[in-house]
Amino acid sequence: MTVSTYPTLVMKFGGTSVGTPEAMHQTAKIVRDNLSAWPRIVVVTSALSGITDLLIKSAIAATRGDVFTFQDTARILTERHEAIITSGMIHPARQDAIRESVQALIQDFSNLCLAISVLGEATPRAMDAVASLGERLAVRLLAGAIDSLGAPAEYIEATRLIQTDAHHQAAHPDMAATKNAIHAVLSPLLERGIVPVVTGFIGATPEGATTTLGRGGSDYTAAILGALLPSDEVWIWTDVDGVMSADPRIVPHAATIEQLTYREVSELAFAGAKVLHPKTIRPVIEAGIGLRVLNTFNPAHVGTRLVSELPVLGQKVVKSVTTIRGLKLVTLEGRGMLGVPGVAARTFAAIASTGASVSLISQASSEQAICFAVPAEVIQQVISAVQLAFRDEFENKDIDRVWASEEVVIVTVVGEGMRSTPGVAGKVFSALGDQKINVIAIAQGSSEVSISFIIASQDAVAAVRVLHDLVIR
């Protein structure tokens, strides 16, 4: 049997899994302990928890001429990474080299922020250079920790692997070029029994400029590596026991969902659950690779297994209830909208011009009103953009008004069994009615895997709790 026929596993660890010396040690131990069953392991790591937010905040502050915030951040970076270097988990012979490399990256960060403060602006390319530093720091520490446990490891910056376009802050990978780079860089290490520890979240243009993959980027990196190696499975390690039936802070008896389809987890991710970002799933589906969500701090738990399909029989109709908070509902209404083509297109083109994300859309069949949910913090920009787009219609009284509600919440119930079970919507809204919870707007996708609706923010907790009863029945 050649080396290439050995089982291959990609393991991705989130920020909480590497955020403290204890967490870093636990993560390194998980990698080492799995080598007996998986002789070829590739590790992908996020930045230490909270670090990327600090980096971005510092760069934004620097655009205003603030030279103190990034100096404070540089001190925090040094303290947190030094605590891991000197915690005893990294062999003394490697500490000086790692410390020197970490300090050089922190100095790069300070230099970048100083340049931004002088220019008074941060280009998307500069923001990617700053935001990528968290993963570049973490990967050095995790490789050292794994190596010190007796499992040879080498850190790899994903700029050598993930080739992307130049769409900074949300770059799109070139899969063909990336596949070639992955095999050129990672395959020789795996054949020598070395664990490559790869930065998540980042890539590079063909010219070598650092890019980032956007929200969920580290999970996406793991999925790309898993699909293109290819690996047998991808495991996403986080700080909860897989995907939950509800937020345990709202529903204390919420349970881990043992199995979910890719459709279900996509709906959950779009609906606000802290699970895999939807774009993470695509490479895994296309490659037919197994995917699991596991808990770094409870590695014995089986977590959640994600699969392409599940038999409907024996599955719960509703599997999870989730929420998106901090929204307002914008309504555009007027009798002159009836039968006029292009109203929706112009509305959402106006919203797109503000950079706002629309979480839910609902339109009455009369076509006299269209409503949509957007983040509360961008409400004034959105309304102004819509008013400008329909300036003539407002003057001619074809459109009466555009207005925003008080803060609302989107609640979504998800489950494959909803597609083949009559009366699910009736049960959902009857349960809400029994609790005197008013539903403001409703939307259901053509997949029939989820139902989403908008309620007042003060009703969110009660709604999630009563609907979770449908999960456990």
CA distances from 140 to 73, 82, 88, 279, 379 (A): 19, 12, 15, 27, 42
Cα gap 54→19, rounded to integer Å:
14
Give per-residue pLDDT as tens, 89-135. Answer: 899 999 999 999 999 999 999 999 999 999 999 999 999 999 999 99
Q: What is the DSSP letter of 438?
A: P
Q: What is the mean pLDDT of residues 411-417?
A: 87
Give per-residue pLDDT as tens, 337-372. Answer: 776 778 888 999 999 999 888 988 887 665 688 899
**Domains detected in the chain:** 3-239 (3.40.1160.10), 320-472 (3.30.2130.10)
Q: What is the mean pLDDT of residues 14-20?
A: 96
pLDDT > 80? residue 77: yes
pLDDT at position 3, please? 38
Secondary structure tally for the chain: helices H, strands E:
15, 16
Give per-residue pLDDT as tens, 236-257. Answer: 999 989 999 998 889 999 999 9
pLDDT at position 38, please? 97
* Residue 208: both structure tokens together: 């070598």
pLDDT at position 66, please? 96
The arrangement of strands across the sheet holding 290-295 comes to 153-156, 195-199, 40-45, 8-13, 233-238, 290-295, 304-307, 259-261
Cα gap 216→221, rounded to integer Å:
9
Reported as a pLDDT band with limits 50, 70 and 90, residue 2 is: very low
Average per-residue pLDDT for the chain: 91
In percent, how much of the chain has pLDDT > 70?
A: 95
CA distances from 382 to 358, 378, 441 (A): 10, 6, 19
Please answer whether residues 258 and 35 qualify as being in contact, where contact means their C-beta atoms are separated by less than 8 angstroms. Answer: no
pLDDT > 60? residue 4: no
pLDDT > 80? residue 314: no
Closest by Cα among 162, 135, 140, 137 to 153: 140
Helix axes 92-119, 124-131, angle to 10 degrees: 160
Tokens 């205003």 — which residue? 64
φ, ψ (nearest 5 deg) of residue 236: -105, 115
Q: HEC states along 60-111?
A: HHHHCCCCCHHHHHHHHHHHHHHHHHCCCCCCHHHHHHHHHHHHHHHHHHHH
Predicted TM-score (pTM) of this structure: 0.85
pLDDT at position 341, please? 75
pLDDT at position 1, please? 29
Cα gap 409→469, rounded to integer Å:
19
Give per-residue pLDDT as tens, 177-206. Answer: 999 999 999 999 999 999 999 999 999 999
pLDDT at position 472, please? 56
pLDDT at position 335, please? 78
pLDDT at position 236, please? 95
Going by their DSSP bridges, the two strands 40-45 and 304-307 should be labelled as unpaired
* Residue 38: both structure tokens together: 């998986």
